[in-house]
Structures are given as structure tokens and as C-alpha cells.
Copies of this chain bind each other. A is one copy, B any other.
Amino acid sequence: MRTESTIVFSARPELDRPILIEGLPGVGNVGKIAADFLANKLKAEHLATLTSHHLPPQVLVDGDGVAVMPSNEMYYLKDVGTSHLDVIFLIGEFQATTPDGQYIICEDMMKKVFLPYDVSTVFTLGGFGTGQVKEDGRVLGVASDTDMKERLEPYGVTFSPHEPPAGIVGASGILVGLSQQYGIDAACIIGETSGFFVDYRAGMRLIEVLERLLGLELDLSELEAMAKQMDEINSKVMKYASQQRSDNLGYIG
């Protein structure tokens, strides 16, 4: 009688073996930045909304003071770039609150949306927190099989044994694992990030990979501006923290 999750479709477009691009919140919000930007920039259209007992028990408030139920949202695009691929985006503000909730939500979307739409490839986006602030960072991949590796390497994705060492936790991991079980090609594309803050530059590196993959060239200047704003906040925080340390030393001394 009770349905743990509910998926409501707002449109029933015909899609030709679409690829899925997932970017839910995670380490440095790297995957979320990339997927939100693409869906928004390319004016993806709304496909479906998942709400679930396994998302946090609350509402958020939007810019109008209107309540927004936690959800995972699916958008679609047809005939993208020179690849002419159809695309489904999976984005949202939350992932499930419990381990089994993570599996349940991913399986629900797999069975009710991705399998019926005959998704050809699943790309999940994520961040890999290295604990080190660096100018540059790799884009790592974890593939559903070795063919997938060879398919992604030309786009600038590095595959490295046992990296990330702790694996990929959450929807980005499970969707790749489920894809293996259902025989769907899949990969997680992961931007290296310190993990200490929202990392727009790592997000941009993921977008660059997806641009090549989809045959697109996009204006990323908005994200560059966000990254610079973040740099300023960070440098203030750093200055403040180092000031605090010397003050404290003075006090102790």
C-alpha cells in the first residue's frame, strides 16, 4: 500500500537510447556543479521528479519563500551537439539519508525511468577528495568494463588502479554498479578536489570532458567567475585562520 518513492513524469518525450548524466551532491559538489551547469546552459526540459521517504524529512525554501520538497529531478535533451546524443540529466539537492535508501532510490529510477527509456550509457559525476589544495587536478574514471575505459580515455579521463582508494560512495557509485548488473555501459567521471570547499574548477574540468563527449563548446565564464569568488573567500578564511594562530601563540607565549 505504501510507496517508499514516487516518480511523477511531467513529459513523455521519445528519446533515442539516451545517455544518463548524474550529478547529485557529493565531495566538493564537483559532479553537481557540472550537471547543473549543463542542464541549465543547454536548457534541458523537465522529465520526471522522484520524491522519497529516503530523502531528508524536510522542505527547503526557494527565492520566493515557497517550500520545495526534497527530490531528485530528471531533465532531458534531444540531439545534443555534434554527437547528436539524447541525454537525461539526474540532478537534485539531496541524496538518500541511509545506506539502503541509496540503493532503493537508485533502483527505483533504474527500473522506472532508465530501463524503460533504454538508456545506452550511464555517466555519473563525482569528486575525489585528496585533502590537498592544488592548482590542477586529474579527471579520474571508474568504468563498468575495460571497453568503457578505452572509450573515455581519448576525452581526457585517466584510469588508475584502485583509485579512488575508498571507491565511489553514493548514487555515483551505485548507478555504475547497477548498470553492470543490467548490462548497461557506465562510468563514473571524477574530478580531483581538495574536498575542503565547493570546487568550481574541478567541476569545469568535468564539463570539459563532457563537452568533448557530446561535441559541444560552451561558455564557462560564469563558472570561472564563481571559482574566483570562491578563491577570494578562501584567501580571506586562510588569512583569518593564520592571524588566529599567531594571536593564539601570542596568548600562550
- Which A residues are closer than 8 A to B by beta carbons? 2, 4, 6, 51, 53-54, 56-70, 96-104, 107, 141-146, 149, 159-170, 173-174, 176-178, 180-181, 186, 188
Q: Given A103-B53, A167-B58, A177 and B65 touching (CB < 8 A)?
A: no
Q: Given A169-B57, A170-B57, A64 and B181 touching (CB < 8 A)?
A: no
A170 nearest CB neighbor, chain B only: B57
CB distance from A93 to the nearest CB of B (A): 9
Interface of A is mostly: mixed
Collect the chain B residues with CB atoms within 8 Å of residue A149's CB.
Answer: 64-66
Measured in the bound complex, the distance between the Cα atoms of B140 and A65 in whole Å is 9
Q: Are B66 and A143 in contact (CB under 8 A)?
A: yes
Q: Are B66 and A144 in contact (CB under 8 A)?
A: yes
Q: Are B142 and A59 in contact (CB under 8 A)?
A: yes
Collect the chain B residues with CB atoms within 8 Å of residue A104's CB.
Answer: 2, 53
Q: Are B66 and A146 in contact (CB under 8 A)?
A: yes
A3 nearest CB neighbor, chain B only: B107
Q: Given A104-B2, A142-B67, A146-B66, A167 and B57 touching (CB < 8 A)?
A: no
Q: Are B65 and A181 in contact (CB under 8 A)?
A: no
Q: A67-B173, A67-B176 are in contact. List 12 more A-B contacts (CB 8 A).
A: A2-B107, A57-B174, A58-B173, A58-B174, A61-B162, A61-B168, A66-B143, A67-B144, A67-B177, A67-B180, A97-B100, A100-B101
CB distance from A209 to the nearest CB of B (A): 15
Measured in the bound complex, the distance between the Cα atoms of B68 and A181 in whole Å is 11
Measured in the bound complex, the distance between the Cα atoms of B164 and A164 in whole Å is 36
Measured in the bound complex, the distance between the Cα atoms of B22 and A47 in whole Å is 33
Collect the chain B residues with CB atoms within 8 Å of residue A62's CB.
Answer: 161-162
Q: Which of B65, B69, B143 contacts A65 (CB 8 A)?
A: B143
Q: Are A170 and B2 in contact (CB under 8 A)?
A: no
Q: Are B64 and A146 in contact (CB under 8 A)?
A: yes
A190 nearest CB neighbor, chain B only: B61
Q: Given A2-B104, A58-B168, A59-B168, A65 and B176 touching (CB < 8 A)?
A: no
Measured in the bound complex, the distance between the Cα atoms of B60 and A177 in whole Å is 9
Collect the chain B residues with CB atoms within 8 Å of residue A63's CB.
Answer: 161-162
Collect the chain B residues with CB atoms within 8 Å of residue A103's CB.
Answer: 53, 57
